[in-house]
Amino acid sequence: MDSFTQKLEKAPFAFNFDDLLLLPGFSEVRSKDISLKTMFSKSITISSPLVSSPMDTVTESAMAIAMAENGGIGVIHRNMSAEEQVEILKTVKSAEPNSPNATIGDDKRLAVAAALSPFDIDRAKLISKYTDALLFDVAHFHTKAILESVKKIISETGKDIIIGSMGTKEDVMHSVSYLEKVDGLRVGIGGGSICITTDVTKAGSPTPFAVSQAADALRELGLEIPIIADGGIRTAGDIALVFALGADSAMLGYGVAGTDESPGDIKTVNGAKYKPYRGMGSKGAREKRLVNDRYADTGGKNFDEGIEGMIPYKGSVADVISVMNSSVKASIGYAGAGSINDMHAKARIARISSGRTSKAEIKPGR
Task: Indicate which residues carry an active-site annotation.
Answer: 195, 294
Q: Which stretch binds ligand XMP (CB under 6 A): 110-118, 119-127, 186-194, 236-244?
A: 186-194
Positions 188 through 217 that interact with ligand XMP (CB under 6 A): 190, 192-195, 197
Interacting residue with ligand XMP among 48, 53, 79, 117 (CB under 6 A): 53
232 vs 338, beta carbon nearer ligand XMP: 232
Binding string, residues 113-152; x marks residues near ligand XMP by CB under 6 A: --------------------------x-------------
Say what the alpha-carbon torsion angle 165, 169, 171, 175 is, to the nearest 10 degrees. Answer: 100
The CA distance from 61 to 90, in Å, is 9
Report the amino acid identity of residue 270: N
Closest CA to 317 of 77, 38, 53: 53
Among 258, 281, 284, 338, binds ligand XMP (CB under 6 A): 281
Given the complex with ligand XMP, which of 309 and 315 has the nearer CB atom?
309
Integer CA distances (angstroms), 28 to 23, 206, 334, 336, 339, in order: 16, 32, 10, 7, 11
* Residue 253 in contact with ligand XMP, rule: CB under 6 A: yes
Asked if 49 touches ligand XMP (CB under 6 A), the answer is: no
Dihedral over Cα of 323, 279, 249, 96: its sign:
negative
CB of 200 to ligand XMP, least distance (A): 9
State the Cα–Cα distance between residues 61 and 169, nearest whole angstrom.
Answer: 34
Count residues contacting ligand XMP (CB under 6 A)? 25
* Distance between CA atoms of residues 188 and 30, nearest Å: 31
**CA–CA dist 230, 215 (Å, integer):** 14
Residues numbered 292 to 321 that lie near ligand XMP (CB under 6 A) are: 305-306
C-alpha R_g of the chain:
20
**Can residue 231 be called a binding residue for ligand XMP (CB under 6 A)?**
yes
Pair type for strands 227-230 and 44-46? unpaired
Binding window for ligand XMP (CB under 6 A); candidates: 111-119, 150-158, 251-259, 293-301: 251-259
Query: Which residues of this protein are in contact with ligand XMP, per CB under 6 A?
Result: 53, 55, 139, 165, 190, 192-195, 197, 230-233, 251-255, 279-282, 305-306
